[in-house]
């Protein structure tokens, strides 16, 4: 089945620095990928849709200048958390699936971000 | 938009059967997914229903009624490792892989 790989699995960074998270589709091409954030004991909240070759589409309330998304190829999307603050500490998960209206989404392993 | 309603928590006994219900409202409908998520891990795919009826896959079955906006996940012969959060995710119009999740149901399996 389709495999989505996310890296790194966990990262600790200092407040004010930026962190880049990668999401790769390993055996299929994905024109769209999705970024979610999950706080402890809460559900996955969709942050944005990453579109290959064009700008990402952000959900309401998500700061596009803080969460930079780049989808430069059909197998790679990156999420950069800029000027991270402790409140950005969360579990970030990407998903992707093969093209078509009836495909299913597969998730990367997730990235645990801790900002100190 | 989407409205998804699931019980927040459930407790069941090892070896028993448990049914996790999900009601939803979506703009259009293109199938419903169930995912399992263990604490600290990403969700894993369990089942997908697009037509009314029951889909069985080993110990897990999922049911869908589109007219009622209702689905359930049935877990049989419960094992301790089934303790996890179960997420119901209906897919709205447009299809694709953009999913919206409810709060999920935290299932605890006890001896």
Q: Does residue A101 register a pLDDT over 70?
A: no
pLDDT in the model for residue A1: 58
- Of B50, B96, B102, which has the smallest distance from its Cβ to A43's Cβ? B102
Residue (of A48, A95, A87, A93) closest to A70 by Cα position: A48
- How is residue A24 written in tokens? 């790769």
Angstrom distance (rounded) from CA A46 to CA A36: 4
Q: Does residue B39 register a pLDDT over 60?
A: yes
d(CA A40, nearest CA chain B) in Å: 9
Q: Is A13 left (phi over 0), alpha (psi -120 to 50) or beta?
A: beta
* Per-residue exposure over A68-99, b if at least 16 CB sit within 10 Å of its own CB, e if not: bbebeeebbbbbebeebeeebbbbbbbbbbbe
Helix (H, G, I), strand (E, B) or coil at B80: helix
- How is residue B108 written in tokens? 């605890």
Q: What is the pLDDT of residues A6-65, one digit of tens each?
A: 999 999 999 999 999 999 999 888 889 999 999 988 889 999 999 998 999 999 999 999
The residue-averaged pLDDT of B71-84 equals 97
- Of A34, A93, A104, which has the smallest distance from its Cβ to B33's Cβ? A104
Chain B residues within 8 A of A101 when measuring between CB atoms: 30, 94-96
pLDDT in the model for residue B94: 65
The answer to whether residues A99 and A31 touch, using CB atoms and an 8 Å cutoff, is yes
Place of tokens 């930026």: A18
């Amino acid at each position: 089945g389709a495999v989505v790989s996310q890296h790194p699995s966990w990262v600790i960074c200092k407040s004010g620095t930026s962190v880049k998270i990668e999401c790769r589709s390993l055996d299929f091409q994905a024109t769209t990928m999705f970024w979610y954030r999950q706080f402890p004991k809460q559900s996955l909240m969709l942050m944005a849709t990453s579109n290959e070759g064009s700008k990402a589409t952000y959900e309401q309330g998500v700061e596009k200048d803080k969460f930079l998304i780049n989808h430069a190829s059909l197998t790679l999307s990156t999420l950069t958390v800029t000027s991270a603050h402790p409140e950005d500490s969360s579990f970030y998960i990407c998903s992707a699936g093969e093209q078509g209206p009836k495909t299913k989404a597969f998730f990367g392993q997730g990235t645990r971000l801790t900002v100190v | 938009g989407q409205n998804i309603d699931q019980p927040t928590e459930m407790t069941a006994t090892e070896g028993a059967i448990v049914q996790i219900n999900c009601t939803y409202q979506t703009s259009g409908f293109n199938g419903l997914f169930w995912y399992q998520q263990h604490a600290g891990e990403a969700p894993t795919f369990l089942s997908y229903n697009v037509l009314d009826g029951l889909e069985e896959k080993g110990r897990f079955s999922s049911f869908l009624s589109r007219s009622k906006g209702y689905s359930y996940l049935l877990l049989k012969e419960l094992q301790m490792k089934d303790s996890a959060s179960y997420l119901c995710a209906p897919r709205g119009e447009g299809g694709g892989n953009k999913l919206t999740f409810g709060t999920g149901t935290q299932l605890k399996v006890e001896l």
